[in-house]
Amino acid sequence: MRRFSWRRMAAVFVKEFQQMLRDRLTFAMAVGVPVMQLVLFGYAINTDPKGLPTAVVAGDSGPLTRSLVAALQNTGYFRITQRGQSEAEAQALVERGEAQFMVVIPPHFERDLIRGETPALLVSVDATDPSASGNAVAALEAVATQALRHDLVGPLHGLNGGASPYELRVQRRYNPEGLSRYNIVPGLIGTILTMTMVMLTSLAMTRERERGTMENLLATPVRPGEVMAGKILPYVLIGYLQLGVILLAAWLLFEVPMAGSFALLMAMIGVFIVANLAVGFTFSTLARNQLQAVQMTFFFFLPSMLLSGFMFPFRGMPEWAQHLGEILPLTHFLRIVRGILLKGNDAAQLLPELWPMLAFLGVAGVVALKRYRQTLD
């Protein structure tokens, strides 16, 4: 039996290391993915979002009202973005996702409070993502007892007791029980479709190139655009099949409501599926083998999952991370699917989230088609 040779082992080591360095894409992925994880988890992820957009409807403009609004801002959780509109207009902002909170200060708030009549302060919160608003709601309770402490002095000192001088009524809209599955299950539709659509398309094209059948396809009079459409459409059907399974489980197992239009949901999901398939087609023109296709899929899926608002509150991320998240189609799709299922949003309310997905689809489609034309040469 031959003895173990360190020299032969070193030769194999050098050969393998050189081969790894030649595969620049794989080496870049091996270095890039850990760096991206460190940056995203270290800087972008925040489970305690602050500066949540808040619409204030003030029926009273007295000093006590101003002190109350200032106390809300001082908590750091509330960022007053709208003032002076009607309650219906403020509620529309919450429905469209432009405001996380609506605070309604009733008329004669200050007069009733001075009389000791305990006026009611209405707070409406978008509770589709309970983790995004939970700490802010808890801060409201602390504000209730401390906000007017420095104003209730002199003749009003009797109102400055242990209990709040006004009643706080919090309405958790769209998810009153705070069930996490109402947020997670709709989000799973987007994350599962993102992973599978990108991977399946990239693997299909790369596998055909590895097996040598791509040459037969290129020998036919089929044009690049026709190849791209023919390759994508079968996976659109697979995507809708996956969607049917997820929605069936959402309704039967998790009792997720369907407040909006089912037909509108199907149309929006179609745009999202095609956008992800275009990304997969682009990856297939870049990857030399199936391993690289899988690596690029993971490199796209990881930021999509972390920066879209699926795992962590979107508004809790720093501004630069939110800008990156706005580029990803999953970010806009999550708002669309939650808006339809939980809020009952219509097409007009979803338009601000639709056009970024269409723009992403257009860019990905052009890049994929251009790259594929290069492979024809």
What average pLDDT does range 189-202 have in this prediction? 87
What does the alpha-carbon distance between residue 274 and residue 358 come to, in Å, rounded to a whole number? 10
Q: Is residue 151 pLDDT above 70, yes or no?
A: no
Beta bridge partners of 80: 54
The ranges assigned to domains in the chain are 52-173, 181-376
User: What sign does the CA torsion over 57, 59, 62, 68 have?
Assistant: negative
- Rounded to the nearest 10 degrees, the angle between the axes of helix 319-327 and helix 347-376 is 70
Q: Is residue 278 pLDDT above 90, yes or no?
A: no
Half-sphere exposure of 227 (CA within 13 A, CB side): 26
> Token digits for 85?
């509109």
% of the chain residues with pLDDT over 90: 8
- pLDDT, position 332: 94
> Token digits for 203?
């693997």
What average pLDDT does range 288-294 have in this prediction? 80
The pLDDT tens digits of the residues spanning 306-329 come to: 888 888 888 888 888 889 899 999
Q: Is residue 109 pLDDT above 50, yes or no?
A: yes
Half-sphere exposure of 195 (CA within 13 A, CB side): 9
Starting at the edge strand found earlier in the chain, the sheet holding 101-105 runs 78-83, 52-58, 101-105, 120-126, 167-173
What does the alpha-carbon distance between residue 172 and residue 101 come to, in Å, rounded to a whole number? 10
> Token digits for 181?
């599955």
- pLDDT, position 288: 77
Q: How sure is the predictor about 336, in pLDDT bands with cuts at 50, 70 and 90?
A: very high
What does the alpha-carbon distance between residue 275 and residue 324 come to, in Å, rounded to a whole number? 17
* Eight-class DSSP state of 108: T
Q: What angle do CA 267, 268, 270 make, to 5 degrees?
A: 65
Task: Give the residue among 214, 219, 216, 217 at the shortest CA–CA distance from 284.
Answer: 214
- The amino acid that residue 4 corresponds to is F
Beta bridge partners of 124: 102, 171
What average pLDDT does range 252-276 have in this prediction? 88
- pLDDT, position 377: 45
CB under 8 Å, gap of 24 or more: what pairs does 179-182 form? 179/130, 180/130, 180/131, 181/254, 181/256, 182/128, 182/256, 182/257, 182/342
Q: Is residue 40 pLDDT above 80, yes or no?
A: no
Give the CATH number of domain 52-173; options: 3.30.1330.10, 3.40.1710.10, 3.40.640.10, 3.40.720.10.
Answer: 3.40.1710.10
Question: Could you give the 3-state DSSP secondary structure of residue 171?
Answer: strand
- pLDDT, position 360: 92
- pLDDT, position 375: 55
The full DSSP string for 265-281 is HHHHHHHHHHHHHHHHH
Beta bridge partners of 121: 168
